[in-house]
Structure 1
Amino acid sequence: MKLFIASDLHGSLPATQAMLARFEASNADHLILLGDLLNHGPRNAIPDGYNPVATAEALNTYSNKVIAVRGNCDSEVDQALLQFPITASYAHVLLPQMRLLLTHGHIYNPDNLPPLQSGDALLYGHSHIAVAEYRDDILLFNPGSTTIPRNDGRSSYGLITATECQVRTLDNNELLVSCPIRHKL
Structure 2
Amino acid sequence: MKAVIVSDSHGLTDELAQIVMRHRHEVNLFIHCGDSELPAEADAIAPFAVVRGNCDWTAAFPDERIEEADGVRLFVTHGHLYGVKTSLLRLYYRAKEAGANIVCFGHSHLAGAEQIDDVLFINPGSIALPRGRKEKTYAVLEMDRGRTFIQFCDIGGRPIPGLEKTFSI
User: Which range moves more in the overlay, 134-143 or 174-183?
Assistant: 174-183
Aligned equivalent of 1:137, options 91, 108, 118: 118
CA distance in 1, matches of 2:55, 2:20: 23
AA at the equivalent of 1:103: T
- Could you list the runs of 5+ residues in structure 1 that have no partner in the other structure? 39-51, 80-84
2:20 corresponding residue in structure 1: 23
Count of aligned pairs: 155
Q: In the superposition, relative to structure 1, how do residues 172 and 161 fare at CA in structure 2: closer, same or farther (>3 Å)?
A: closer
Query: SS of the counterpart of 1:159?
Result: strand
CA distance in 1, matches of 2:51, 2:73: 16
CA distance in 2, matches of 1:123, 1:158: 10
CA shift at 1:5, angstroms?
Answer: 1.0
Matching of residues 62-141 of structure 1 within 5 Å: 63=46, 65-76=47-58, 85-86=60-61, 88-108=62-82, 109=84, 110-113=88-91, 114-117=93-96, 120-141=101-122
Aligned equivalent of 1:146, options 117, 124, 127: 127
**Residue deviations 1:118-172, cap 9 Å, x none?**
8711110000000112122210100000000002121011111223222211135
Question: Are the counterparts in 1 of residues 78 and 106 from structure 2 also a CA contact under 8 Å?
Answer: yes
Spell out structure 1 runs of 4+ moving beyond 6 A.
Answer: none
AA at the equivalent of 2:90: N
Query: SS of the counterpart of 1:154?
Result: coil
For the aligned residues, what is the CA RMSD? 2.5
1:3 corresponding residue in structure 2: 3
CA distance in 2, matches of 1:134, 1:90: 20
- Could you list the runs of 5+ residues in structure 2 that have no partner in the other structure? none
Output the TM-score relative to the length of structure 1: 0.72
CA distance in 2, matches of 1:126, 1:180: 23
Aligned equivalent of 2:143, options 146, 162, 182: 162
Query: SS of the counterpart of 1:107?
Result: helix
CA shift at 1:30, angstroms?
Answer: 2.5
